[in-house]
Amino acid sequence: MPDPLPPAIEVDHLVKSYAGMTAVADLSFTVARGEIIGFLGPNGAGKSTTMRILTGYLPANSGTVRICGHSVATEPDAVKRLIGYMPENNPLPEDMRVSEYLYFRGRLKEIPRRKLGPRIDEVLELCDLKRVRHKIIGQLSKGYRQRVGIAEAILAEPPVIIMDEPTIGLDPHQILIVRDLIAGLRGRMTVIISSHILPEIEMTCDRVLIINRGRVVAQGTPAALRREVLGRTAYGLTVAGNIAGLPALLQAVEPSFKITTAGEPDATGFVQLALATERDDEFGEPLLQALIAQNYRVRALSRAHPTLEDVFLAATRRTWDATQPNLPKPPPSGPIP
């Protein structure tokens, strides 16, 4: 008897290789129910492959995937009833009307005929598609097509929704709609989305999973990731005075303070500096007081706010492996189909 409420997605030591190239190398992660998770990684990191394996479309070479406790490999039928999937590039039939398409998909997803009509109205409303419901999909603009794909994914109200780059090709207004839409699913459905638009992920997702070369390189909430991956707090300082004496002053404030980069003094003698400390708490005020006490002239002091982008770049560049330290080296990566 499985756990009464197993996690929505459990991936355990997943491996998938294509003709000699490893797309996914020993990937393990868990997604709790109702969580919205962002899936990040550079191109060819294995995001789409992982998502396809999660849906049961592609078989894995080894490892197990469980959706709500059902194994994808041995119970594909049960798993397909639990997921809503929107593939990369959102393929849609060209010569169907939007409402016809949703009706057809709803029937395939075994929504009873009686409930299907109201449910289609509901998702059309949610995705702001009411105006185009009788249009032919092939004539719709990219933004509308993308929303038809999202409407299709949430149509059967599955507990797990997997979307591969849902916001690609949308204008900022539409991205806002999609973000609200996904946020509206929070708590009811588990959503896993991949995206290249990092601020998007940061705003919508409870947790972020960064993968590179088929392995998890970092995971956690955006805030935790910043701390973990960058490992330090950065400050920017524009100051004039005895620059040579500055390191000693910083040491006095906090022993781990270091100057990471220092610019050239400008015409008025001010120098731009970047400082870093391993401590996470606020050092702005003591630093400022120390500087003024030493007769430094301060023009600006700010605590840097690293974006998810910085985290992403740092994590993927170093292929840093804190979550799975005992793994063999990743195989040489090549272009992954």
Site of interaction with other proteins (CB under 8 A):
18, 52, 55-59, 77, 80-81, 83, 85-87, 89, 91-96, 104-105, 107-110, 152
* CA atoms of 101 and 150, how far apart (whole Å): 13
Nearer to other proteins by Cβ, of 146 and 316: the residue is 146
* CA atoms of 213 and 41, how far apart (whole Å): 9
**HSE of 194 in the Cβ direction (CA atoms, 13 Å)?**
23
Q: From the CB of 56, what's the least distance to other proteins, in Å? A: 7
Q: From the CB of 67, what's the least distance to other proteins, in Å? A: 12
Q: From the CB of 78, what's the least distance to other proteins, in Å? A: 9
Q: Which residues contact 193 (CB under 8 A, 6 or more apart)?
A: 36, 37, 38, 39, 163, 164, 165, 166, 182, 201, 204, 205
Nearer to other proteins by Cβ, of 194 and 277: the residue is 194
Nearer to other proteins by Cβ, of 160 and 177: the residue is 160
Separation in Å, CA 71 to CA 6, 12, 14, 23, 48? 12, 11, 13, 21, 19
Q: From the CB of 105, what's the least distance to other proteins, in Å? A: 7
Q: From the CB of 317, what's the least distance to other proteins, in Å? A: 30
Pick from 259, 199, 214, 249: nearest CA to 45: 214
Residue 250, phi then psi, degrees to nearest 5 = -65, -40
Q: From the CB of 162, what's the least distance to other proteins, in Å? A: 9
Give the containing element (helix H, strand E) for 71.
Answer: strand 70-71
Nearer to other proteins by Cβ, of 81 and 196: the residue is 81
* CA atoms of 191 and 38, how far apart (whole Å): 8
Nearer to other proteins by Cβ, of 119 and 226: the residue is 119
Q: Which residues contact 126 (CB under 8 A, 6 or more apart)?
A: 151, 154, 181, 184
Nearer to other proteins by Cβ, of 96 and 230: the residue is 96
Tell me whether strands 190-194 and 36-40 are parallel, antiparallel or unpaired. parallel
Q: Are 188 and 166 in contact (CB under 8 A)?
A: no
Nearer to other proteins by Cβ, of 110 and 285: the residue is 110
* CA atoms of 185 and 160, how far apart (whole Å): 10
Q: From the CB of 48, what's the least distance to other proteins, in Å? A: 10
Nearer to other proteins by Cβ, of 148 and 205: the residue is 148
Q: From the CB of 82, what's the least distance to other proteins, in Å? A: 10
Residue 247, phi then psi, degrees to nearest 5 = -55, -40
Nearer to other proteins by Cβ, of 84 and 222: the residue is 84
* CA atoms of 266 and 269, how far apart (whole Å): 5
Q: How many residues does the chain have?
A: 337
Q: From the CB of 24, what's the least distance to other proteins, in Å? A: 14
